[in-house]
Amino acid sequence: MTAQSSQIVELTPENFAVEAIERSKQVPVVVDFWAEWCQPCRMLGPVLEKLAVEYGGKFVLAKANTERMSEIASGFGVRSIPAVFGIKDGQVVDSFVGALPESAIRAWLDGIMPTPAEILLSEASKLEKSDPEAAGAKYREALALAPTDPRGRIGLGRVALSLGRPEEARAVVEELERRGFLEPEAETLKAELTLHAGDAQAGDLGDLEAAHRAAPRDKEAQFKYAEALASAGRYDESLGLALDLVERDRRGAGEPARKLMLAVFQLLPPDSPLAIDYRRRLSLAL
């Protein structure tokens, strides 16, 4: 069983995160766990490949040979093959085991296809940088179709912030927080708002650096400089200054500095060495 089109990919332990998880944030990914010795797999595989081509990019078929991907198969809880999983937005949404008839597979595929609201959300996300106003319009359309889906509100919050309307974005976060939790995307938006607030109050970075150098023990000057550095994307320097404030004045200037560090962590990749290092150092300081 080999890849036959752009809609079919062969998974490896090295490309799994990109081809299965990250790609599923753009289009549904169907992961087929199979093996050469498995006769039902040989029956199911060609049917899935045929449908992947027929559906013309509406989903991606990702072939996972369990002989080479035993750890990942174990992580999915695969006990017998063929085992097929539908992944959307990085999460498994449905699965089946065994060689189903083509009609049943079609029905299963249709069940994991994006809804009209999800299509609008995807289109809006792609427009955010190039045309935020158009992105906002699509997010509002998506919300009208799926008012309980938080992705539309989060998207509107991002658009509002990019258009210079932070209060609208903050209202979105506050509304979502009333549920008692925030999605990772909403946490990121909250972090961006934290840095935006610091940027709005900070002033010229050069002046703040000069003020800090003139009075290196002045906690307020140090915090303002740390905020400005974070807003400028100079995270390493910002985290160093903020951590120093936490260590020097935990209950006073250290508290807003701690919150600043948490906001920066939220904006860095989870596996960022910088975030990992400063998380550890902050934990020790606390």
Hey, which residues are catalytic here? 38, 41
Amino acid in the structure at residue 82: P
- In terms of phi and psi (left: phi > 0; alpha: psi -120 to 50; beta: otherwise), the region of 77 is left
What phi and psi values does residue 139 have, to the nearest 5 degrees? Answer: -60, -40
d(CA 91, CA 10): 19
Contact 5, 52 (CB under 8 A): yes
3-state helix, strand, coil in the chain (%, to 5): 60, 10, 30
| CB neighbour burial string for 258-270, b if at least 16 within 10 angstroms, e if fewer | bebbbbbbbbbee
Q: With beta carbons less than 8 A apart as the criterion, state whether 61 and 7 touch.
A: yes
CA distance 99 to 104: 10
